[in-house]
Structure 1
Amino acid sequence: MRKVFNSRIDDLTKKFILKEQGPLSYSDQIIWPYLYKNILAELFEELILYDKITIKLSKNNAPLAVLINELGIELVQELIKEGTIELVLWLPWIVVGQGQDGKGQFDSSYLKGQPSIVVAWQANKEYSEPFHAIENAISLLKGSYAYRKKSFIADTVDKVILFDQEAAHASSDFILESYRNNILGPLGVPYTLDHTELGYEQRLKLLTLANKLLDVTFLSKNKCDTHNDYEANIITSTCLTNVRNTAKIAENTNTILKIENLPSLKQFFFEEHISLKDIVKLRNKNATNEFRKWIHSVEENMDSKDLTEEYLNAISGKKQKIKNKFLKTGLIYTVGAGMGSIIGAATGNLEAGALVGISIPTAIQTLTSLGYSYFNSYVIEKFLGGWNPRLFIDELKLKQNNKL
């Protein structure tokens, strides 16, 4: 199973909806509609390409409100209940002290003698307890959801993950210990003074490293891919061994779509060939499920030429083993999984699956319902040839032509 960690909805809603950084500038107001559309396009892409989406919820839990607003409370409830969407309450914070003069004014001289970075904790019930966090997210929405709130909370509250303080303390301690041992020089923080004597700018560098380590520790532990481009360095390299960036999977998918004269998945969404609500129906089709397995089984670093050859081989059946005169099986997918930690990593297990053919009566019934025009792509490719990636492409083309 491939999971992706989505933190962008949380990051953007804190700035543009909750306005935690203050009133929006004129340029922010202009760009926000595009940014909002883009995070929805990313969600569309994730629903197609990943088995599970882990959504980060921090202060105010706005991402859950966005999901309910866009998909409807019933559908979001179903997706969480079945495990397609997973919510994680991001409770720990690593922060840097901002020295004050006792009157609320910043004064860096007051930093001396204070720890350079510290772990904070979200203690407010509205944000730290699943029941209250979900209730708070629903309260952000316009309109009444009273008719569904009780049922929604009952089905989802036990499925919320709590990311607790332990990892934050471990990340903070590791960074400070690395600093004391002068390991962080290549990263711009050589040891010069005790960390309690550092100036504000150096403390910010330590804070950035600690938060990056916290992020990749979560990603590695929970086996999640990520949109963020985390640089492999002496601090993160162990964890990043087990973390993939979503960009390559999306790039490979879009290469296939280009071969078939289709727009990228994001562009497909932007052009409104399919709504976000309808994507769930497409996601659950067998053609999409099998494509998801196939695209993750393709070698990640394959260039476009080799990927094109891989795709053409797959749709022509060259790599499939004929079982008998009528049926072909054997699409086996191997997914490497790993779990890392701050100090080490261990390998996971392998998953495999096979696609089994359909009966002749079923094929005939399906043929009559689809019409002769799809005889070649459906019966020949699926019934006689076994599943291949073009079946997913056919689904997209049907959506593009508004035939479904």
Structure 2
Amino acid sequence: MKRSEKKHRARTQGEPEKVSSTAPRLPRALYTTGFDELASRWFKNPKAPSKLAPAVILGAAAETLHVSEALLLSPAVCCHVYGENVPLCLLIRIFGVEGVEQLLEESSLQFLLWRPMVLYWPLEQKQKITGIDPLAAGNHSDPAHSDPQASVEMGLRGWSGLPWAKLERLAKLAAERTHLPAANVPHDAIGAVRSAYDGGALQRFGFDKNKSREKLDDAGRKRLSGLAEDIAKGIVLYDMEFDLHESDWAWRQLLRFGEIVNDSGVFEAVEKGLILEHLPSIPRLLAQNIITPQDVVRLRNDPATLEFRQWLWGQPNPRDAEAVAKAWLASIHGKPLKDRVWFKHVRLSTFSALGGIVGTAIGSPEGLVAGTLVGAALNQTLGAVDTFGLEKMLSKPSPRRFADLLRRKVAKHAADGMSDAPRKQRRAKAAKQRKVKK
């Protein structure tokens, strides 16, 4: 086994790190498939029909705001990559080379290069082949799907549009932050599906254990291989202690792997809390340019933001939006809730932000992606001590300072808009006078 494979195998299947019993168990990162889906449907597809553009634009807008919020509130973000790393190119268009380098240095931005293959043998049209198990497992061996360095380099050279000399350091960092699933993952996934099938556990999906898998038609074989592929992804995410970013694309990828996707509410909880503070949601702040990319990079390490993350992830159940809202309201009234305990395990969720970005959904997908995605990430970690810098925190953290921080940004944005108004009026008046003279 190659040294690099051993390294990635350890990442995916090694023993989980031990953390203090007093610290909450956090996801290492939030896993998202949206940018890779955009790459496959549009950027890598020279035959993509022009009628697909509106859907790509709206999808990009929604995904960029979801990921922006995740980068601000979660430990890290991990982007799914299939083949050439085009998601990295999209991120460069948004953050710039220096910004992406910073995120990679902090391990705030990571990638999962997908090499497992879960296949099914289709029935021949002329000759029905029986007696052969329809599922087959393997791993991609071509460089784009199996070598992080090659995936990164091929993506950057093909889609970044930047000189290689400017990207060499970034490419090295991106390759180092790219995870590669262990070679046994697809085999384990197929083994799990076969056992479940034979045991009758897949009857709710329409598979009769009394019907041999070899007798399944092509539609059944495809659905069965889809289950195995979902389980393969679930195995990797579970072993890596990643949570699922609940975009539409990610839901379609892992809808059936309930262990990963069932819990929800962290981002909804933040939205409810900001409503109590009479503030817009974070996606709306981003969409309206009240928070800029430069702002977010600074905000992520602001003491108020650090304190807020400690408070949020220290709730008994951060995914319970109603409970978090009550705790937030209690902090506003100065009456902290009793019997607070550290949670053991949470799942992240996002909510639809399309209502806040419809006005920005114009232009080419490239222009939209380049102009919409903002955000920054937090350092990768498992323990709250490392994640939030508890030694620097107050003994009783509160969400109020974070709300005040956002409130100041809203006020400044409004003040800047008001200061621009007289200037705009003068320009309009001058233009009108010039028109009259003509």
Which position in structure 2 is the counterpart of 1:250? Answer: 267
Give the Cα–Cα distance (whole angstroms) in 1 for the partners of residues 384 and 214 of structure 2: 48
* Alpha-carbon spacing, 1:357–1:116, altered in 2? closer, same or farther (3 Å): closer
Aligned partners of 2:79 and 2:87 also within 8 Å: yes
Residues 289 and 96 of structure 1: is their aligned pair in 2 closer, same or farther, counting only changes over 3 Å? farther
AA aligned opposite 1:253: V
Pairing of 1:142-153 with structure 2 (within 5 A): 142-153=160-171
Letter aligned with residue 206 of structure 1: L
For residues 326-360 of structure 1, the C-alpha deviation after alignment (integer angstroms, 9 at most, x for no partner) is xxxxxx9834259xxxxxxxxxx9755785679xx
Of 25, 48, 55, the match for 1:23: 48
- 1:48 is aligned to 72
- Show the counterpart of 1:13: 39
Judge which range, 79-88 or 153-162, deviates more. Answer: 153-162
Work out which of the residue numbers 386, 389, 396 in structure 1 matches 2:399: 389
Instruction: Find the aligned partners of 1:402 and 1:124 in 2 and give their Cα distance.
Output: 52
Q: Give distance in 1, aligned partners of 2:148 and 2:384.
A: 32
What is the DSSP-based 3-state SS (H/G/I as helix, E as strand, rest coil) of the residue aligned with 1:93? strand
Q: Contact 1:175/1:210 (CA < 8 Å) preserved in 2?
A: yes
Give the conservation status (yes or no) of the 8 Å contact 2:234–2:254. Answer: no
**Given residue 344 of structure 2, which amino acid in structure 1 is its aligned partner?**
G
Q: 1:146 to 1:180 in 2, by over 3 A?
A: same
Q: Does 1:294 align with 2:311?
A: yes
- Alpha-carbon shift at residue 272 of structure 1 (Å): 2.3
Matches within 5 A, 1:108-123: 109-110=127-128, 112-123=130-141
How far off its partner does 1:387 sit? Answer: 4.1
Provide closer, same or farther for how the CA distance between residues 395 and 320 of structure 1 changes in structure 2, counting only shifts above 3 A.
same
Instruction: Give the conservation status (yes or no) of the 8 Å contact 1:48–1:292.
Output: no
Task: State the alpha-carbon separation in 1 of the partners of residues 140 and 285 from structure 2.
Answer: 39
1:285 paired to 2:302: yes
Alpha-carbon distance in structure 1 between the residues aligned to 2:389 and 2:147: 41
Paired residue for 2:335, among 305, 318, 321?
318
Counterpart CA distance in 2 for 1:357 and 1:180 is 54
**Which consecutive residues of structure 2, in runs of 5 or more, have no partner in the other structure?**
1-25, 347-381, 417-438
Question: Conserved in 2, the CA contact under 8 Å of 1:69 and 1:141?
Answer: no
Q: Kindly indicate whether residue 248 of structure 2 is the aligned counterpart of residue 224 of structure 1.
A: no
Match of 1:268 among 285, 299, 312: 285
Looking at structure 2, the residues matched to 320 and 354 of structure 1 have their Cα atoms a distance apart, in angstroms, of 23
Question: Equivalent residue for 1:336?
Answer: 344
Shift of 1:278: 3.6
Partner of 2:190: 172
The answer (yes or no) to whether the contact 2:274–2:403 under 8 Å persists in 1 is yes
> Are 1:38 and 2:62 an aligned pair?
yes
Is 1:155–2:170 an aligned residue pair?
no
Secondary structure at the aligned position of 2:69 is classed as helix
SS in 1 for 2:80: strand
- Note closer, same or farther for the CA distance 1:162–1:333 as it changes in structure 2 (3 Å cut): farther
**Corresponding residue for 1:92?**
116
Q: Comparing both chains, which one has the higher relative contact order based on Cα–Cα distances under 8 Å and sequence gaps of 6 or more?
A: 2
How many residues of Structure 1 are paired with residues of Structure 2 in the alignment? 346
For the 8 Å contact 1:314–1:388, the answer to whether it is kept is yes
Q: 1:60–1:137: 8 Å Cα contact kept in structure 2?
A: yes
* Residue-by-residue CA offset, 1:272-292 (whole Å, 9 max, x unaligned): 222345422222222222222
What are the equivalent positions in structure 2 for 1:71-90 lying under 5 Å apart? Answer: 71-90=95-114
CA contact (8 A) 2:330 2:337 kept: no
How far 1:79 moved relative to its partner?
Answer: 0.8
Q: Over residues 204-261 of structure 1, what are the superposed CA-to-partner deviations in whole Å (9 max), with x where a residue is unaligned?
A: 221221122122222221222211458999x845xx1xx4667411110100111122
Distance 2:86 2:160 in 1: 13
Contact 1:224 1:244 (C-alpha < 8 Å) held by counterparts: no
Shift of residue 303 of structure 1?
A: 5.3
Structure 1: distance between partners of 2:389 and 2:122: 57
2:49 counterpart letter in structure 1: L
SS at 1:210 equivalent = helix
Amino acid at match of 2:342: T
Distance of aligned partners of 1:13 and 1:400 in 2 relative to their CA distance in 1, 3 Å threshold = farther
CA distance in 1, matches of 2:34, 2:231: 18
**Separation (CA, whole Å) in 2 of partners of 1:32 and 1:396:** 31
Identity of aligned residues (%): 19
Relative to 1, partners in 2 of residues 1:98 and 1:395: Cα closer, same or farther, differing over 3 Å?
farther
Normalising by the residue count of structure 2, what TM-score does the alignment of the two structures yield?
Answer: 0.70
Residue by residue, what CA displacement relative to the aligned partner does 1:27-51 show, whole Å, maximum 9, x if unpaired?
x222211211211111111111101
**Alpha-carbon distance between aligned partners in 1 of 2:44 and 2:243, rounded to the nearest angstrom:** 27
Provide the C-alpha distance between the structure 1 equivalents of 2:30 and 2:97, rounded to a whole number of angstroms.
Answer: 22
1: CA distance, partners of 2:105 / 2:254: 35
Counterpart-to-counterpart distance in 1, 2:126 and 2:229: 22
Question: 2 CA distance for matches of 1:337 and 1:157?
Answer: 29
Report the alpha carbon displacement of residue 314 of structure 1 after superposing the two structures with TM. Answer: 2.8
Q: Deviations over 1:285-340 (max 9, x none)?
A: 22222222322232246453x4333113234553399xxxxxxxxxx9834259xx
- Tell me, yes or no, if the aligned pair for 1:80 and 1:156 is still in contact at 8 Å: yes
